[in-house]
Amino acid sequence: MKNSSECLPEIFGSYVFNEETMKERLSEASFNAWKKCTTDGTPLNLDTANEIAQAMKLWAMEKGATHYTHWFQPMTDVTAEKHDSFIHPIGGGSIDMEFSGKELIKGEPDASSFPSGGLRATFEARGYTAWDPTSFAFVKDNSLYIPTIFLSYSGQALDKKTPLLRSMEAVSKQSIRILRLFGDTETKKVTAQCGPEQEYFLVDKELYKQREDLCMTGRTLFGNKPPRGQELEDHYFGQIKPRVAAYMEDLDNELWKLGVPSKTKHNEVAPSQHEMAPVFSDANTACDSNQLVMDMMKKVADRHGFVCLLHEKPYAGVNGSGKHDNWSLGTDTGKNLLKPGSTPSQNAQFLLFLAAFVKGVDEYQETLRCTVASAGNDHRLGAQEAPPAIISIFLGDELEAVVESIIKGTHYKDGAKKSLRIGVDVLPTISQDTTDRNRTSPMAFTGNKFEFRMLGSSQSISGPNIALNTIMAEELREFADKLEKSKNFGKDLDTLIKKTFTEHQRIIFNGNGYDESWVAEAEKRGLANLISTADALPHYASKKSVDLYVKNGVYTKQEMTARANIHAEVYDARIAIEARTMLDMARREIMPAVSSYAGDLSVRIANLKAAGCVTAYETDTSKEVAVLTDTIMKDTQKLSKDMEKVPADPWKAMKFYHDTVIPDMAKVRESADALELLVDKKYWPFPVYADLLFSE
């Protein structure tokens, strides 16, 4: 009998209609046509599509599938799917199992009920899903899942995959222009690559059900820090508890079946917090896979009596959860364009791509900040557990020294002095991991990639990767436009790199992002400090951002405006749900429980006095409870009244929620949390942090 490690190669991708499976089940002509479609964008004819659909159907049925679904990513942080069975009546009460090329290629879900930001009216219901042949179909829950894009009747992107594919095409096109200047005639395609690390919390399912706030909002709206939190620093990378280990093993197996290369698993910093990290892949596959990861984390948790919390800050006072997006560019010839080389031409090429990235992050820092702005992430960014809201780049000591020597025109020291004339003299090999990691940096260079550390744990990684791809495409376009006209490439290249690093050096910061002095320093440098979503989102559809995306063919102006509106509406909705949940819990659970406790305490005081006993504890506690009960009642009344004043306009509402409702909620919580410390545990209406965080 094979052990699990021996079975892994057989398990991995076994529920994926991948390239190997396609090669086995398709004719050579159809397989080659599919390959050409994925590499060159050549359309598939109907005969080929029918053959692929037939092979896909038979394979899926062997895996137990009875239905198929076009699986797409609307403008939410989750996926959508409508399932149709393969059955086709053939008369006489009998059926056949059919699936055509037409059904594979195109679907027509109702587009009116998804977020559109004004792109679609309710009565304009028609939308289209179209097969993405570059992303493999798979079987899950007895259905064949077909990754698709999602468009409106008029062709506007209503999803997150379409603009991602557009951005990947844009950065590939501009990267190849640069590579040609360096004599690379072999590369035909450059692919944006990423590997998103996923943090999450596990909580016992029965305890979760007793917390309305967790059920409704994904985070606790009330609660004090437990006596023990993460102070001992013993949970991070600590021994995994048996129940959690069983969950992680089950999760790995499910992900491996679906071709998700789950690589790393460990305990994170906070109690009951954990992390999973995959192997690098192309950005399109990585985005699809991360959606599957979040879905599977929740489903597998349920089997093990857990609930998986993906909110950025489920518990106040302990670390929240993020998602580190490791981003790079790779050629179809196997080269990483962000890996420093050891020859003059490779060094110059690397430094030009590095200069483009530095310039892009500096020029479009507000755009990048918008991609990670959400109500949940506002609790996490800058909270001594995640990067600050100020965008900066960490290069490490060695690479920063190289950049400084370029700017100053001085010698770079690496054993011996070497004159740094880009592309002429040999720049020493810049090895990986020559410096410590900087966990406070929003954008850290880690040897051959950049780690964008600001993403929230619950969000789709599409938005940040679309931005990175588009920004890089824009800067490479500008560089190519200049260098293609050059009559002295080496000299002009040297000048361009030096000029770029000089003008955008302000974005490079290797220090402690948590230090208060960095805020003042960043302001002095002219860097944006968009602390909250309400501060950041107005920049989303700014002229600079719109021009960036429109120029590179990633979004239309209308699509940008729509997405900005959706982000504002989602923020408003989440805060509104939290506020209503808080009012419900305060009025229907906390205050009645406190009143009951106060009543029993009064009876006890009367009985003790009648017996001639001392009542200092009971009397003092009763007074404190009475004062706090009166305070929480007044605070809930104010919150309730302010909720009635929320403006109808989503942008005005966003500011009102941030400036008025959230402070109201903080006041309600302050009184409630103080009461939690006074009220007898048996009266408190729901599990406290000590129960939730140590329930594994």
The pLDDT of residue 574: 97
DSSP per-residue letters across 622-661 = HHHHHHHHHHHHHHHHHHHHHHTT--SSHHHHHHHIIIII
Q: Are 162 and 147 in contact (CB under 8 A)?
A: no
pLDDT digits (tens, 9 = 90+) for 41-98: 888 999 999 999 999 999 999 999 999 999 999 888 789 999 999 998 888 888 889 9
The identity of residue 183, as a single letter, is: G
The pLDDT of residue 346: 60
Burial 529-547 (b: 16+ CB within 10 A, else e): bbebbbbbbbbbbeeebbe
Using the structure block, give the residue that is written with the tokens 């690559």: 193
Q: Shortest CA distance to 316 belongs to which of 669, 605, 56, 678?
A: 669
The pairing of strands 67-71 and 143-152 is: parallel
Virtual torsion, Cα 669, 675, 676, 677, nearest 10 deg: 120
SS (H, E, C) 383-421: CCCCCCCECCEECCHHHHHHHHHHHHCCCEEECEEECCC
4-158 is a CATH 3.10.20.70 domain: yes
CA dist., res. 332 & res. 190, Å (int): 6
CA dist., res. 133 & res. 675, Å (int): 57
- The domain 167-555 is classified under which CATH number: 3.40.50.300, 3.30.590.10, 3.30.70.330, 3.10.150.10? 3.30.590.10
The pLDDT of residue 4: 63
Q: Long-range contacts of range 642-645, CB-CB < 8 Å, 24 or more positions apart? A: 643/576, 643/579, 643/580, 643/583
Q: Are 456 and 376 in contact (CB under 8 A)?
A: yes
pLDDT digits (tens, 9 = 90+) for 529-540: 999 999 999 999
Burial 280-297 (b: 16+ CB within 10 A, else e): bbbbbbbbbbbbbbbbbb
The pLDDT of residue 343: 54
CA dist., res. 2 & res. 293, Å (int): 26
Q: Shortest CA distance to 152 belongs to which of 174, 133, 117, 124?
A: 124
**Which ranges of the chain have pLDDT less than 50?**
1, 123, 415-420, 424-426, 432-435
CA dist., res. 696 & res. 687, Å (int): 14
Indicate the domain borders of the chain.
4-158, 167-555, 571-693
pTM above 0.85, yes or no: yes
Q: Which CATH number describes the domain made up of 571-693?
A: 1.20.120.1560
The pLDDT of residue 515: 87
pLDDT digits (tens, 9 = 90+) for 379-429: 998 665 678 899 999 998 888 888 888 888 876 665 444 444 555 444 555
Using the structure block, give the residue that is written with the tokens 């966990």: 439
Residue 379: count of CB within 10 angstroms of its CB: 18
Q: Shortest CA distance to 383 belongs to which of 324, 454, 308?
A: 454
